[in-house]
Amino acid sequence: MTQPTVLPAPPPPVSEPSGDPRTSRVVLSRFLRHRLAVASLVVLVLLAVCCFGAAWIAPYPRNAQNLLAASQPPSGTHWLGTDSLGRDYLSEMLYAGQLSLAIGLGVALLATLVGTAAGAVAGYLGGWPDEVIMRVADLFLIVPPVAVLAVSLQGLGPSPLTIVVVLSSLGWTLIARVVRARVIQLRHQEFVEAARVIGASGPRIVVRHLLPNLTGLIVVNVSLSVATAIILESTVSFLGYGVQPPKSSWGNMLTQAAGLIGTSQSYLLYVPGLAILVTVLAVNFLGDGLRDALDPQGRQ
């Protein structure tokens, strides 16, 4: 589709990266100055340790039912109370977090990997590969994501692995566009021309000269797409097409909690929701901090 012909903005200056320790110190100090991002990193690390260390940290084992202690309010023995099957809600939350975080991170990594590769190829080669890749990316703009997710998950069956694959198949287009734009811009920079003149091969130029320049972009994208993926996962799981019981994620815990609206246990609605909110918020702040530190030109 043709875009409106907006007057182009001058491309930002791009410099050859260097593995120079001075640069990494600058990046680190810039990141540390972003207090919200540092705090978010601490929150995320704590969250990850608690969830993935649930086997040691959680007060009760996974799925331990005690029907005699069902639907209890928060107490000293069950900090967040119990659900209708008598499972300790805090332990459930931690185990569910494993899946929510793992899916979020998995999707972000896979989508970024695929998107970066597609964008780099499209941008570097141009011509018909570019055309094909970008048209395919356009197709994903037309169909609503929730619909794609639901249809594919209905077809493929909702195992965590397929959830990751299907969510990634949606997430790759954004990073592909961004990487493509940056690669096209870099392709004509002197250091790339120079590499070509001395006879470096195409793949070598992409991997050795272009990708290092995209580090900031890629890292920022991973963090931001973790946020999107966590929200999408919880949404599909809430609708019943994602993670299925007895496995639990924060999304399908909310499906159960939705049934408790209006009962004395309606507070259970807030727990998984706040967990998602805090995680996504922290991931976004972390992304902002990383962008300011790694990719100052990309700031909006």
Partner 1 sequence: MTRYALRRLLASVPVVVVASFILFWAVRATFDPLAKLRQSVDPTALHRETVRLGLDRSLPEQYLLWVKGFLRGDWGTSTRTGGAVLPMVGDALGTTLQLILWGVALAVVLALAIGLYSAARQYTAGDHLLTGLSYLGVAMPAFWFGLVLIQVLAVWPKQQFGLADPPFYFVGLHSVGHSGLDLDYLRHLVLPVATLTVGLVASWSRFGRATLLEALSSDYVRTARAKGVPRRRILLRHALRNALAPFVTVVAMDAAALVGGLVVTEQIYSIPGMGKLFLASLETGDVFVLLPWMFVVAVAVILFNLLADLSYALLDPRVALR
CB proximity list for 250: less than 8 A, separation 6 or greater: 93, 96, 97, 100, 234, 272, 273, 275, 276
Cβ-based nearer residue to partner 1, 84 or 256: 256
271 binds partner 1 (CB under 8 A): no
4 binds partner 1 (CB under 8 A): yes
Cβ-based nearer residue to partner 1, 39 or 281: 281
Tokens of 26: 């600058």
Cβ-based nearer residue to partner 1, 212 or 259: 259
Quote the distance between the C-alpha of residue 55 and its chain's center: 25
For residue 82, give the 3-state DSSP assignment: strand
Query: Where on the phi/psi map is residue 298: left (φ > 0), alpha (ψ -120 to 50), or beta?
Result: alpha
Cβ of residue 3: shortest distance to partner 1, in angstroms? 8
Could you tell me which stretch among 2-10, 23-31, 188-196, 211-219 binds partner 1 (CB under 8 A)? 2-10
Q: How far apart are CA 253 and CA 88, in angstroms?
A: 13
**Torsions phi, psi of 2, nearest 5?**
-75, 140
Total of residues contacting partner 1 (CB under 8 A): 46
Cβ-based nearer residue to partner 1, 86 or 273: 273
Could you tell me which stretch among 1-9, 10-18, 54-62, 159-167 binds partner 1 (CB under 8 A)? 1-9
Cβ-based nearer residue to partner 1, 132 or 207: 132
40 binds partner 1 (CB under 8 A): no
197 binds partner 1 (CB under 8 A): no
Name residues contacting partner 1, limited to 221-260 (CB under 8 A). 227, 231, 234-235, 238-239, 251, 254, 257-258
Angle at 293 between CA 290 and CA 298, to 5 degrees: 80
For residue 195, give the 3-state DSSP assignment: helix
**Torsions phi, psi of 15, nearest 5?**
-120, 155
Pick one of 74, 273, 294, 298: the residue that binds partner 1 (CB under 8 A): 273
Specify which residues 88 forms β-bridges with: 82
Q: How far apart are CA 167 and CA 111, in angstroms?
A: 8
Cβ-based nearer residue to partner 1, 123 or 145: 145
Name residues contacting partner 1, limited to 112-151 (CB under 8 A). 135, 138-139, 141-147, 150-151
Name residues contacting partner 1, limited to 60-89 (CB under 8 A). none
Cβ-based nearer residue to partner 1, 66 or 235: 235
From the list 220, 233, 238, 231, the residue with the least C-alpha distance to 297 is: 220
Q: How far apart are CA 259 and CA 265, in angstroms?
A: 10
Residues that bind partner 1 (CB under 8 A): 1-7, 135, 138-139, 141-147, 150-152, 154-155, 227, 231, 234-235, 238-239, 251, 254, 257-258, 261-262, 266, 269-270, 272-273, 276-277, 280-281, 284-285, 300
